[in-house]
Structure 1
Amino acid sequence: MIRRTLARFGIDAYLIALMATVAVAAVLPAHGVGATVANGAVSVAVALLFFLYGARLSPLAVWEGLLHWRLQSLVFASTYVLFPLLGLVLARTFGGWLPRELVAGLIFLCILPSTVQSSIAFTGIARGNVAAALCSASVSNLFGMVLTPLLVVLLLDSKGGGFSTQAIENIALQLLLPFVAGQLLRRWIGPFLQRHKAPLSLVDRGSILLVVYAAFSEGMVAGIWSQVTLGDLALVSLLGLALLAAVLVTTTLASRRLGFSKEDEIAIVFCGSKKSMASGIPMANILFPGQALGLIVLPLMLFHQAQLVACAVLAQRYARRSEPEGTAASIPAVASPSAAGAR
């Protein structure tokens, strides 16, 4: 009831929970033994998160979607080519006006995979190609577990990204291994997970909140927030909005120029313009050990809210078109921007 009320006013309930978590970390940060316990809990939560991803993802759905290779190629190019290039341009142009951690966070945002749940939800609302959106988002996250760390090496190592061989081992142990285990056990536990989506979504969201609390607690204890001004926050927000607008316009024009149907265009726009906070924050926790993680993930948190609002407006505009071009896709069970959560 509360979530639906907030959604009417374009307010993401999960973002409120994130902001509340940041506030708790500011007032009651974990330190000493508490920080050790929190970090251990984060490792377990992240592993569980990716185990559930693996158990939910249908290999057959991914394979069928891959057959639409032109659409998948365009989404992939937007996620892992266009976004990083734009991020580098913004970092080079405005990086001198921001703390190093925020610049790293801006680039890190640009090399993350797409979202899963919100991409599918918005595509369904807009009467787009839901099957293609499911595949694009899923494949993006699969590749992201490998490509994002590699892009961190290429783009952030010289900027103090702090990537190391230990990070590769942590990615394998905390992300890849649980994901593969989930895929192997999917045959037996998949139906159970499908029947209990709502309570299990608390695991997804709770894991992210735990990582955010640990990250911002560490920042408070280290005193990193004294390095950030309101001007820094305003500039990062504006850069995120400019980045989102550029990608939305580019993916829309490219899909039309290449002759995609309206349903395919919708899937391309929504999958190609998103960045996953659900994958990004756990990855940042592994890839940037001992650094100002709160500042690094801040651009992603700001971008997340902007993409939800912008895509909610776009989805409604697409949905109001008089006649669908081609075969209309069915709207999935998840059809609320707020239900998309952190994904």
Structure 2
Amino acid sequence: MDKHVNFFLVLVITLFITWFLRDFGGMLNSHEMFATVTIMLMYVGMGLTTDSRQLLVGLRNWKLVLFSQFSLFGLSPLLAYALFHVVLRYSPLEYAVGLLFLGCLPTTITSCIMLTKEYGGNAVGALYNSIVSQFLGLFLTPLLLSALLATQFVSVIPFSQVLKNLCYKMIIPFAIGQILRQRHVSLGRIPGIVTYYGIFFILYMKLAATFCKGNLLEYFHLLAIPLIGVAAFCTLLLLLVSALAAGCRFSREDRVCSIFTGTQKTMGMGIPLATIYFPKNVEIVSSVSLLIIFYYILVMVGAAFVVVRILPKQEKNVNKA
């Protein structure tokens, strides 16, 4: 089954289960152990499936690497922070904060590589950039988030506490996975399955805890403006990245790569980080999760549209010149 079709199918099933088994999900969410163990297993699996040896090889195309990482950790946070303040005028803080999470997240591991290859881009460059961003994201994402969230939440947990949680929930499990990989420990498809489906289990628990409180129409009504903000963020980021890539005079293959790697955002880090920053506030975690999912869907469609509709036209104009 196509990975994107599988994603939509699993998402629909998750929402269906959440609605009908919300009391059970709320009960699971009341025990932090379930989310913690799931996150730790996810990152062990990610360590097992990430080939860190590719990092140094990928740095040979340093211009593409720098551009993609700047898009993810420089341009994206600034744009998200600006739009966040616009959305904040019309939406409560708890529902708009997902924009800040989106702006600071690294790219995906699999989707950007698959889409880059499918649309004739530099798939090897996408592989390198996704690995680099995952390693950088372990440190840069929480650092950026702490700086941005501290300007909005008086009670946000200190960065030292975030770093402690990050170490035992994500960094140490990732390192364990890397060690097991170096020792050629093979668990077949289990690590990939745990990494992929673990995020939906966390989503189920957080959404169920929110759904148990009722007033769902009001909840989704409050998310309307933030969702518009996410759509604006996606559109502007795609246009800026594609324009800057053209200005850097990248080849078409590298431009396709930069569009897919420089704009996609991973759910695998975003949702766990929301549980770290707001362990007692399921509404914030739920709203952040839904905004990340909405962006994930939107940017896959939007990036493909930009590549198909804009790049060929630009290539023709260049040839004419």
TM norm. shorter chain > 0.5: yes
Deviation at 1:94, TM superposition (A): 2.1
8 A contact 1:122–1:270 mirrored in 2: yes
Does 1:297 pair with 2:285? no
Matches within 5 A, 1:117-196: 117-160=110-153, 162-164=156-158, 165-189=160-184, 192=186, 196=188
Stretches of structure 2 that go unaligned for 5 or more consecutive residues are 316-321
**Structure 1 residues 170 and 12, CA, compared in 2 at 3 Å: closer, same or farther?**
same
**Structure 1 residues 224 and 96, CA, compared in 2 at 3 Å: closer, same or farther?**
farther
Deviation at 1:15, TM superposition (A): 2.9
Deviation at 1:63, TM superposition (A): 0.9
2:318 is matched with which residue?
none
- Counterparts of 1:244 and 1:142 in 2: how far apart (Å)? 23
Does 1:218 pair with 2:209? yes
**Structure 1 residues 318 and 135, CA, compared in 2 at 3 Å: closer, same or farther?**
farther
- Counterparts of 2:65 and 2:121 in 1: how far apart (Å)? 15
- CA-to-aligned-CA distance 1:126-169 (integer Å, 9 cap, x gap): 12111211111111111111111111211012322723333321
1:306 is matched with which residue?
298
8 A contact 2:48–2:191 mirrored in 1: no
Does 1:251 pair with 2:245? no
Question: How many percent of aligned residue pairs carry the same amino acid?
Answer: 26
Stretches of structure 1 that go unaligned for 5 or more consecutive residues are 324-343
8 A contact 2:101–2:145 mirrored in 1: yes
* RMSD after superposition: 2.6
The total of aligned residue pairs comes to 309
2:33 is matched with which residue?
40
Matching residue's letter, 1:181? I
Which of the residues 20, 23, 28 maps onto 2:13? Answer: 20
8 A contact 2:48–2:180 mirrored in 1: yes
- CA-to-aligned-CA distance 1:33-91 (integer Å, 9 cap, x gap): 54345x32221121111112112222221111122211111111111111111111111
Question: TM-score normalized by structure 2?
Answer: 0.87
- Counterparts of 1:110 and 1:208 in 2: how far apart (Å)? 19
**Structure 1 residues 224 and 208, CA, compared in 2 at 3 Å: closer, same or farther?**
farther
1:240 is matched with which residue?
230
1:281 is matched with which residue?
271
**Structure 1 residues 78 and 34, CA, compared in 2 at 3 Å: closer, same or farther?**
closer
